[in-house]
């Protein structure tokens, strides 16, 4: 007995399935990954051969960058296989793919490679988690001192020393008009003596003290109150700030945009005008180049 032929139907369009994924990641696991990477970095740091080579953008790459990146990426894939990773040492996917990320890791496996090569100890391991365009978790490990700073949005900022003692990180309150404020800048980049924008910024303060340090240590200094302000009016990438950004915020400080800049250091906007808008930093942008930014401790109004 035959069957009746079905009438043809139009092909369904745009059928989707919607679901939410709930996941918790213990911060201690991310801390452990950063510390494992730090140990690998120190082993290479204390060796005779750092394996230095130059990348296409003329920035240095060492065996420590590569090994730290391997450890971090393998660790993050183990604890959160569903969360993509943006790392300085990985190939960057196009924004057409990245724009759909709900969460992503933003990693600098060795922040301060130039300082590492100079053997001045001023380098860090940075692992940040971004939700949408906002940093919501940050872990920054300092291999030479053994300190690890970490924070989660809404849950405070903390630092653990090499002996395992943990303290909460809190901002130091000050007024921008106070004399003798401590400003920090980059060891390997522009300082007030050779950068017009930086010179103009520093001149806004009353008898400031200016010190130079490498890597994300400058953001951490503002977070824990050993410095009051960190102006960065020179190029950086998102992985240079994401992890420390949330630590700074949870300590009671702010990281504010100060105008777009090119990779060669050409200012595209007036930093003063943009800074007045008090705009927070954003991550996983189409262009992973950061704008200029200024880190302020807890300002009295």
**Per-residue pLDDT tens for 177-197?**
999 999 999 866 555 555 788
Query: Residue 27: is it exposed, middle or buried by C-beta count within 10 angstroms (0-12/13-18/19+)?
Result: middle
To the question of pTM greater than 0.75 for the whole model, the response is yes
Share of the chain above pLDDT 70, in %: 93
Q: Euclidean distance between the first and final Cα of the chain, in Å?
A: 88
**Sequence-separated (6 or more) residues with CB below 8 Å from residue 163:** none
Q: Is the pLDDT of residue 204 over 90?
A: yes
Q: Is the pLDDT of residue 11 over 90?
A: no
What is the per-residue burial (b if ≥16 Cβ within 10 Å, else e) of 137-151?
bbbbbbbbebbbbbb
Q: Which residue has the tokens 């302000």?
A: 229
Residue-wise pLDDT for 161-177, tens only, equals 999 999 999 988 999 99
Half-sphere exposure (Cβ direction) of 260: Cα atoms closer than 13 Å: 6
Cβ proximity of 257 and 291 under 8 Å: yes
Q: Is the pLDDT of residue 64 over 60?
A: yes
Q: Is the pLDDT of residue 293 over 90?
A: yes
Half-sphere exposure (Cβ direction) of 227: Cα atoms closer than 13 Å: 23
Q: Who wins on pLDDT, 187 or 213?
A: 213
Q: Is the pLDDT of residue 154 over 70?
A: yes
Q: What is the mean pLDDT of residues 245-260?
A: 97
Q: Who wins on pLDDT, 64 or 4?
A: 64
Phi, psi angle pair for 159, to nearest 5°: -135, 135
pLDDT of 10 reads: 73
Give dist(CA 130, CA 153) in Å, integer.
Answer: 11
Q: What is the mean pLDDT of residues 247-264?
A: 96
- Alpha carbon of 296 to those of 123, 127, 182: distances in Å? 21, 22, 11
The mean pLDDT value of the chain amounts to 92
Q: Is the pLDDT of residue 218 over 90?
A: yes
């Amino acid at each position: 007995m035959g069957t009746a032929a079905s009438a043809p139907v139009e092909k369904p369009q745009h059928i989707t399935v919607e679901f939410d994924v709930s996941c918790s990641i213990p911060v201690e696991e991310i801390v452990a990954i950063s510390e494992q990477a730090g140990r690998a970095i120190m082993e290479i740091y204390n060796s005779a051969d750092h394996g230095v080579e130059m990348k296409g953008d003329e920035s240095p790459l060492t065996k420590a960058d590569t090994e730290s990146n391997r450890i971090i990426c393998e660790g993050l894939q183990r604890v959160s296989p569903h969360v993509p990773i943006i790392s300085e040492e990985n190939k960057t996917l196009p924004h057409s793919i990245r724009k759909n990320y709900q969460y992503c890791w933003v990693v600098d496996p060795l922040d301060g490679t130039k300082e590492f090569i100079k053997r001045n100890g001023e380098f860090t391991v940075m692992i940040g988690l971004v939700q949408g365009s906002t940093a919501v978790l940050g872990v920054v490990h300092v291999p030479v001192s053994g300190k690890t700073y970490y924070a989660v949005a809404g849950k405070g900022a903390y630092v653990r020393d090499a002996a395992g003692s943990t303290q909460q990180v809190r901002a130091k309150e000050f007024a921008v008009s106070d004399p003798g404020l401590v400003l920090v800048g980059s060891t390997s980049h522009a300082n007030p003596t050779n950068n017009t924008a930086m010179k103009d910024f520093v001149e806004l303060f009353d008898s400031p003290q200016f010190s130079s340090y490498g890597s994300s240590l400058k953001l951490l200094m503002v977070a824990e109150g050993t410095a009051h302000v960190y102006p960065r009016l020179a190029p950086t990438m998102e992985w240079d700030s994401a992890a420390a950004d949330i630590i700074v915020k949870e300590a009671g400080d702010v990281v504010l945009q100060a105008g777009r800049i090119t990779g060669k250091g050409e200012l595209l906007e007036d930093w003063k005008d943009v800074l007045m808008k008090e705009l927070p930093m954003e991550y996983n942008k189409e262009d992973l180049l950061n704008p200029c930014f200024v880190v302020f401790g807890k300002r009295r109004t």
